[in-house]
Structure 1
């Protein structure tokens, strides 16, 4: 029983992200996007979205970077999968409308 408790405790902390890791991921995402290395920006953005809470303050900006990275990388299947994912995400309707407007313009 004790071993199970400790293994679950360690397992739960393995998915937590520290502030330093979060800041480092944000810097890598921004740098990759500015340097037009969209594949790195996409993978790191997805990693950031998996590791952070739904109420994270930078989540909206990471979604925008992910949107533009997928658009400019010309990966249509992943781009449309992302659009479908927006529907299920807990984003304000105003932000969802912004993404949909960007698709059509």
Structure 2
């Protein structure tokens, strides 16, 4: 349990990747803990899938953490993928253009899309 029990994270390590499953609601109160979790996980595993199937809310500060983690992973020769987003989380990631950038198998450069 983290950040006043609003969210949880579970990490599973596999031979070719780590899977971080996030659940609950992620907002500005979770930024430091999530950043630390992703940084630590990416240092130990070049490929990290972030499973969002149990995440019900995220705000712009979390979007920033996810994009920064993706950029850091790519710069180090690895990758960070967002998998299984649903509901509000899927909509936010799609509307902001972040989901196509961080979906598995994407070849986009490690730069978030620019909006006019």
Q: TM-score per shorter chain, which class?
A: 0.3 to 0.5
Using the size of structure 2 for normalisation, the TM-score is: 0.35
Using the size of structure 1 for normalisation, the TM-score is: 0.38
Larger Rg: 1
